[in-house]
Amino acid sequence: MDIHHIRYFLAVCETRNFTRAAQKCNVTQPALSRAIQQLEDEIGGLLFRRERNLTHITDLGNLLRPRFQQVQDELLGVKSEASKFLCLNDAHLKVGIMCTIGPRRFTGLLTDFNLGHKGIQLQLVEGIPARLSELLEQGELDVAIMSSADNFPERFDVTPLFRERFMLAFPAGHRLSQYDAIPISAIDGEIYLRRVNCEYWDYLTDLCDAQGVSTIVSYSSEREDWIQNLVAGGLGICFIPEYSAVVPGLQVRPVAEPEVTREVCLVTVAGRRFSPAVSTFVGAVKSYGWATTPLTRQNEYLN
């Protein structure tokens, strides 16, 4: 059964005239008549009775008309939804964001993207690198923005976006405030509050060991805001990425001797074809001026 046959049938039902129905469907009357005949042959019964200039719908035609109308409406709905999706008028996008990445560097990008593509509904999914990688590979995420202390798996395409330094956070009035940049050796003996989701934890621990630095791990939490508030309350110090959203009362200085940095990257699955929405977002991320975007360094380290 051809969808055009259904369209011709519904046109005849509406106009009650084969000639006007053919004009409405932009086909010749003989072509429309043959299509109706083929439809009747396939169904096994008459759909219309033609009496001179009058066309009557048979009982079988009246019975099938709502079903055929539903088929046509569903198809038109499919075409409309596809058109909106392809034209980015009603498209959905899932972006994975590593939980330790603060929003400060991405607000400008997302604002610009929203202004230019209001039809794209963007959902941010937070997680640790292992979980984001799993969701990305399973197709549950379209793209991910994350960092890794090790190399990313070969199954991913990775585009570096920007580098950020690691900072040491401490409460107001702490002795570390005397430094413009804090040597690793200066934190020996300090109470450390651990950010459980920090992907550089092992790297930072090894770095302290290599420098002969020992800290006392006290509280730990998956919640970045909890750790920061505990630090601001005077319970210890912690490492945080440079562009983290910092709670009031926290002071930060860059880590020095040696400096520690991480590279934040756009990650996609190698070889996977992008939808128009994903392709548009990936293009926007890659072309965004990460290196030239003005951003005050932690409000002059929150002095």
CATH number of the domain that residue 279 is part of: 3.40.190.10
Same domain, 128 and 236: no
Domain that holds residue 74: 3-87
Asked, for residue 119, whether it belongs to a domain, the answer is yes
186 in the same domain as 215 = yes
pLDDT digits (tens, 9 = 90+) for 88-129: 666 789 999 999 998 888 888 999 888 888 888 899 999 999
Task: Specify whether 82 is located in the same domain as 146.
Answer: no
| pLDDT confidence tier of residue 297, bands split at 50, 70 and 90 | very low
Residue that is last in its domain, among 66, 87, 108: 87
Q: Crossing angle, helix 29-43 and helix 3-15, to 10 degrees?
A: 110
Residue-wise pLDDT for 129-144, tens only, equals 999 999 999 999 999 9
Q: In sequence order, which residues have a C-beta less than 8 Å from that of residue 2 and are 6 or more positions away? A: 35, 38
Per-residue b/e over 122-147, b at no fewer than 16 CB within 10 Å? Answer: beebebbbebbbebbeeeebbbbbbb
Examine residue 60 and state whether it is found in any structural domain, yes or no. yes
Q: Which of 20-34, 40-54, 253-267 has the lowest mean pLDDT?
A: 40-54
Residue 303 lies in a domain: no
> Is the per-residue pLDDT at 80 higher than 70?
no
| Statement: residue 225 has pLDDT above 90 | yes
Residue that terminates a domain, selected from 46, 66, 87: 87
Q: What is the average per-residue pLDDT within 20-37?
A: 92
Asked if residue 293 belongs to a domain, the reply is no
pTM of the model as a whole: 0.67
302 located within any domain: no
68 in any annotated domain: yes
Q: What is the mean pLDDT of the chain?
A: 88
Q: Which residue has the tokens 């630095």?
A: 213
- Domain count along the chain: 3
Same domain as 209, residue 179: yes
Last residue of one domain, picked from the residues 87, 107, 126? 87
Residue 3's pLDDT is what? 85
Q: What is the mean pLDDT of residues 14-25?
A: 90
Residues 201 and 283 placed together within one structural domain of the fold = no
CATH number of the domain to which 59 belongs? 1.10.10.10
Q: Are residues 120 and 175 both part of a single domain?
A: no
In this predicted structure, what is the pLDDT of residue 86? 62
Read off φ and ψ for residue 38, nearest 5 degrees. Answer: -65, -40
The Cα 90–Cα 79 span in angstroms is: 13
Same domain as 74, residue 201: no
Evaluate if residue 23 carries a pLDDT over 50: yes
Query: Residue 296 falls within a domain, yes or no?
Result: no
Collapsed DSSP state (helix, strand, coil) of residue 206: helix
Q: Are 269 and 94 in contact (CB under 8 A)?
A: no
72 & 132 share domain: no
Tell me: do 156 and 282 sit in the same domain.
Answer: yes
What is the percent of the chain where pLDDT is above 90? 60
Same domain, 189 and 214: yes
Note whether 111 and 49 are same-domain residues: no
- Same-domain status, 69 and 114: no
